[in-house]
């Protein structure tokens, strides 16, 4: 083989080597997709749980919604006025009832939109005045100005949806803290009780609606 042939062979080898180095696996122009950021906050505080409650309802995500509650101890208590006005309402239900209404509502093709907002109050210690079923190791928080809109399909006129509205009510939440299960070294929290509280003097438009009564529609 003469020198010219050797030189050509060498150039071809270098060219092949360069092509291999910049092949699909080593392309500097390739861009990794951005990681998906969850809209849900870590369950390391009462405030985070309530923010996640809003997010889960707005997204109609029953899986994330159910994660907020203690499956063994959770209780939802209906407002006493609701109980007086509707003999079919239970005084309370547990986790299974909470999961049932959320799955039925969020999974329904008739539910177009859910909006929820409220103002969080201070986090407080529980006391014996909170009731005999309250553990004194729990924490509590009252939220005010509850605004709930649940927009549903109107069978008579699809262009004119039916909106179930709650405006101005309150709710009291109780939380347990699990020191054994941590996130980033911080204990995790769960909602163990939710009390629906009707506020009198509300607008006529929402006079008959409470959070509990709307939940019961999908029970």
Query: What would the pLDDT profile of 152-192 be if each residue is shown by its tens digit?
Result: 999 889 889 999 999 999 999 999 999 999 999 999 999 99
What count of residues does the chain have?
Answer: 219
Domain boundaries, position 166: 46-217
- ∠ Cα 134 82 210 (to 5°): 90
d(CA 193, CA 171): 10
Host H or E run for residue 150: strand 139-152
Integer Rg of the chain from CA: 28
| 29 found inside a domain | no
d(CA 100, CA 108): 12
Query: Mean pLDDT over residues 111-138, rounded?
Result: 97
| 30 found inside a domain | no
Question: What pLDDT is attached to residue 16?
Answer: 43
| 7 found inside a domain | no
pLDDT tens-digit map of 80-97: 999 998 888 999 999 999
| 40 found inside a domain | no
| 37 found inside a domain | no
| 78 found inside a domain | yes
pLDDT range class, residue 203, cuts 50, 70, 90: low
Q: End-to-end CA distance of the chain: give it in Å, rounded.
A: 88
Provide the CATH number for the domain around residue 176: 3.10.450.50
Q: Residue 217 pLDDT more than 80? A: yes
Q: Residue 11 pLDDT more than 90? A: no
| 31 found inside a domain | no
pLDDT range class, residue 27, cuts 50, 70, 90: low
Lowest-confidence pick of 39-43, 104-108, 206-210: 206-210
Instruction: Count other Cβ atoms within 10 Å, centred on residue 90.
Output: 13
Question: What pLDDT is attached to residue 86?
Answer: 85
- ∠ Cα 74 75 80 (to 5°): 165
- Domain tally, the chain: 1
Question: What pLDDT is attached to residue 31?
Answer: 72
Question: What pLDDT is attached to residue 208?
Answer: 72
Q: 140 and 177 in contact (C-beta within 8 Å)?
A: no
| 187 found inside a domain | yes
Q: Residue 15 pLDDT more than 50? A: no
Query: Mean pLDDT over residues 126-151, rounded?
Result: 97
Alpha carbon of residue 180 to chain centroid = 23
Question: What pLDDT is attached to residue 155?
Answer: 87
């Amino acid at each position: 083989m003469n020198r010219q042939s050797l030189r050509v062979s060498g150039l071809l080898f270098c060219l092949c080597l360069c092509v291999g180095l910049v092949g699909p696996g080593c392309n500097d122009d390739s861009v990794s997709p951005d990681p998906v950021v969850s809209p849900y906050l870590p369950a390391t505080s009462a405030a985070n749980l309530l923010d996640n409650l809003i997010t889960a309802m707005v997204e109609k995500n029953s899986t994330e919604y159910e994660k907020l509650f203690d499956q063994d101890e959770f209780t939802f208590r209906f407002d006493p006025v609701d109980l007086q006005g509707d003999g079919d309402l239970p005084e309370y239900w547990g986790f299974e009832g909470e999961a049932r209404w959320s799955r039925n509502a969020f999974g329904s093709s008739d539910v177009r939109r859910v909006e929820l907002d409220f103002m969080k109050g201070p986090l407080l210690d529980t006391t014996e005045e909170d009731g005999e079923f309250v553990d004194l190791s729990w924490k509590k928080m009252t939220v005010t100005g509850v605004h709930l809109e649940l927009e549903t399909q109107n069978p008579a006129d699809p262009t004119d949806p039916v909106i179930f509205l709650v405006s101005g009510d309150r709710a009291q939440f109780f939380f347990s803290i699990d020191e054994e299960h941590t996130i980033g070294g911080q204990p995790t929290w769960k909602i163990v009780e939710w009390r629906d509280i009707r506020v009198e003097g509300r607008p006529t438009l929402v006079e008959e609606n409470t959070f509990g009564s709307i939940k019961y529609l999908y029970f």
